[in-house]
Amino acid sequence: MTPDTVRVRRNEEIDRVNPEIHGHFAEHLGRCVYGGIWVGDDDRVPTTDGIREDTVELLSDLGVHQLRWPGGCFADAYHWRDGVGPREERPRRTNDFWAQGREEAFVESNAFGTEEFVRLCELVDAEPFLAANVGSGDPREASDWVEYCNRDDDTTLARERAENGSEEPHDVTYWGVGNENWGCGGQFDPETYADEFRRFAHFMRLRGAEETIACGHIDEDWNRRFLAELTEPDLMDHLSIHRYFGRWDGDCGSATEFDEEQYYLLFAESLKVGRQIDSAAAAIDTYASTDDVGIAVDEWGAWHPEAASENGLEQENSVRDAVAAAGVLDDFTHRADLVSMANLAQTVNVLQCVVQTDEEAAWPTPTYRVLDLYSPHVGATAVRTAVETDEIETDLWDVPLVSASATHDEEGTYVTLSNRSLDEERSVAVAVEGEVGGATGEVLFADSDPADYSTRENAAEFASTDLDVSTEDGTPVVDLPANSVAGLSVESA
Ligand code: AHR
């Protein structure tokens, strides 16, 4: 069989892969924050200041880099003052967006607020990313939050933070100005949101919001209308886009049940993430510059029909989803010059989470394994890659059977590869430009089926195993099992 070929053009550098691209998102939704991260005084699992140590350990080992909170749709109904001060005095509120059908999540206790979130970020060594309330809040509330978190001056809000246990400022760099403000975040048209964004960002900046994230849309026209109206692009450091794949645009089956057509359609849909980045970049370059405004893909991942409000957006975490995530991470690496940050939705228990929990334990999902395998890309320099492989036709567009991306640093070149074929092993030659030394590899899911999913009992079975690397005329060649993901380290000569 003639192998597929991945050509790695080491001399064509794209940009550094910002660590923030491997970020995560935690919303007050179902069992993500309450149960998955925060258990307070519940002593069934060991905690640090009410935060689960098992979840923290997994996240720290993975590297979270940047964590977005408190939403999501929840952000535009959240009033930060509800979540600071003595916990027993905090108001109990309805969770306006994610209450449906879940008795236990109907009341938001506000036990997990700003101080608890920042503590979590310290424990997992992540940059905090706070999403301010535009939809039902005002610029004063948002800029007061910035002051509470970031100011060192002797102001009432800085004193209040000190009384709440944090003498030193939290130094929050990333500030979202609302979330999906074209929908759950206030139903704004792009022109009205541009006016609101200008007002909020202006006052938030005055109090110390270093980097702001504006809400964008999957629709390029919406982004163009917003950018045309904004007139002050300097107020915006990142434009956010969200892209879920699975339930939204076609029938991809469920997380664990799909036929061949549905299997490939999920991959076709996941390719939309890259296309959407390109479309947002084209819009930005018309009105500002992608050198100054990064694209924040601050929600992305697989979302299957069974993940509904009623079950707190929970779904099984399957191998197919994890392999799809690998392709999306490759697409981020290819666009390291455009993507400034990205947040997989959502960290624990919800949607395409990396950690799942029950009342006694936490365990990693197959997607966790993929992010872990991709971690050598973090902070390295992305280089151009070209993949020669077969394609599968779908209702949307053709899906290349092999996905790949590469980065390099002084030690060598790191190449990630995935085989999206449902049932065929693929032999792949990895042709790295110039003189190279030896290569070693690891592979995920060699013995799994695409519909396999993680449980507390089987989670260890998704760990990586060694991958044999042969050499043909000096070029490393690997055999990738069907529906698998690999990482190849190629030494510099
Ligand atoms: O992640 C679940 C929801 O998806 C978020 O709250 C919202 O921003 C998006 O529509």
Percent of the chain with pLDDT over 70: 98
Using pLDDT thresholds of 50, 70 and 90, give the confidence band for residue 97: confident
Model confidence at 102, pLDDT cuts 50, 70, 90, reads low
User: Ligand 1 atom closest to Cα of 25?
Assistant: 1
What share of the chain in percent tops pLDDT 90? Answer: 91
Mean pLDDT score, 269-295: 97
Assign 297 a pLDDT band (cuts: 50, 70, 90). very high
- What is the topology classification, in CATH, of domain 16-378? TIM Barrel (3.20.20)
**What value does the mean pLDDT of the chain take?**
96
Q: How confident is the model at residue 10 (pLDDT cuts 50, 70, 90)?
A: very high
User: What are the tens digits of pLDDT across the range 366-402?
Assistant: 999 999 999 999 999 999 999 999 999 999 999 999 9
Pocket test for ligand 1, best of 76, 133, 180, 243 (most atoms within 8 A of CB): 180
- In this prediction, residues 453-465 reach a mean pLDDT of 98
Tell me the CA–centroid distance for residue 58 and ligand 1, in Å: 24
CA of 73 to the centre of ligand 1 (A): 6
Position 407 confidence tier, pLDDT thresholds 50, 70, 90: very high
- pLDDT of amino acid 101: 56
**397 CA distance to ligand 1 middle (Å):** 26
In angstroms, the CA 343 to CA 23 distance is 5
Expressed in angstroms and rounded, the spacing between residue 328 Cα and the centre of ligand 1 is 18
CATH, domain range 4-9+383-492: 2.60.40.1180
Which pLDDT value is given to residue 249? 77
Which residues are tagged catalytic? 180, 299
Position 87 confidence tier, pLDDT thresholds 50, 70, 90:
very high
Average pLDDT over residues 175-200: 98
Where do the domains of the chain lie?
4-9+383-492, 16-378
Centroid of ligand 1 to alpha carbon of 190 (angstroms): 19
- What average pLDDT does this structure show over 77-105? 85
Residue 108 scores a pLDDT above 60: yes
Task: Specify the pLDDT at position 94.
Answer: 87
pLDDT value at 479 more than 90? yes
- Among 242, 247, 344, say which to mutate for ligand 1: greatest number of ligand atoms within 8 Å of CB: 242
Arithmetic mean of pLDDT, 249-274: 96
Nearest CA to ligand 1 atom 3: 72
Q: Are 262 and 324 in contact (CB under 8 A)?
A: no
Which pLDDT score is estimated for 103?
Answer: 57
- For 206-230, the pLDDT digits (tens) are 999 999 999 999 999 999 999 999 9
Nearest atom (ligand 1) to Cα of 351: 1
pLDDT digits (tens, 9 = 90+) for 275-286: 999 999 999 999
pLDDT over threshold 60, residue 158: yes
Average pLDDT over residues 413-433: 97
| Ligand 1 proximal residues by C-beta, below 6 Å | 27, 71-73, 179-180, 242, 299, 345-346, 351
List, in order, residues 6 or more apart from 237 with CB less than 8 Å away.
Answer: 211, 212, 213, 292, 293, 294, 340
Query: How would residue 346 be classed by pLDDT, with cut points 50, 70 and 90?
Result: very high
Pairwise pLDDT comparison (231 vs 245), residue with the higher score:
245
Q: Which atom of ligand 1 is nearest to the CA of 244?
A: 4
**The pLDDT of residue 257 is above 60:** yes
3-state secondary structure the chain: CCCEEEEEEEEEEEEECCHHHHEEECCCCCCCCECCCECCCCCCCCEECCEEHHHHHHHHHHCCCEEEECCCHHHHHCCHHHHCCCHHHCCCEECCCCCCCCHHHCEECCCCCHHHHHHHHHHHCCEEEEEECCCCCCHHHHHHHHHHHHCCCCCHHHHHHHHCCCCCCCCCCEEEECCCCCCCCCCCCHHHHHHHHHHHHHHHHHCCCCEEEEECCCCHHHHHHHHHHHCCHHHCCEEEEEEEEECCCCCCCCCCCCCHHHHHHHHHHHCHHHHHHHHHHHHHHHHCCCCCCEEEEEEEEEECCCCCHHHCCCCCCEHHHHHHHHHHHHHHHHCCCCEEEEEEECCECCCCCCEEECCCCEEECHHHHHHHHHHHHCCCEEEEEEEECCEECCCCCCEECEEEEEEEECCEEEEEEEECCCCCCEEEEEEECCCEEEEEEEEECCCCCCCCECCCCCHHHHCCEEECCEEECCEEEEEECCCEEEEEEEEEC
Higher pLDDT, 42 or 54: 54
Residue 41 has pLDDT above 70, yes or no: yes
User: Which residue, by CA, sits nearest to atom 8 of ligand 1?
Assistant: 72
* CB neighbour list of residue 349: distance below 8 Å, 6 or more residues apart: 30, 31, 32, 35, 36, 312, 314, 355, 356, 357
Q: Is the pLDDT of residue 242 over 60?
A: yes
Tens digit of pLDDT for each residue in 298-308?
A: 999 999 999 99
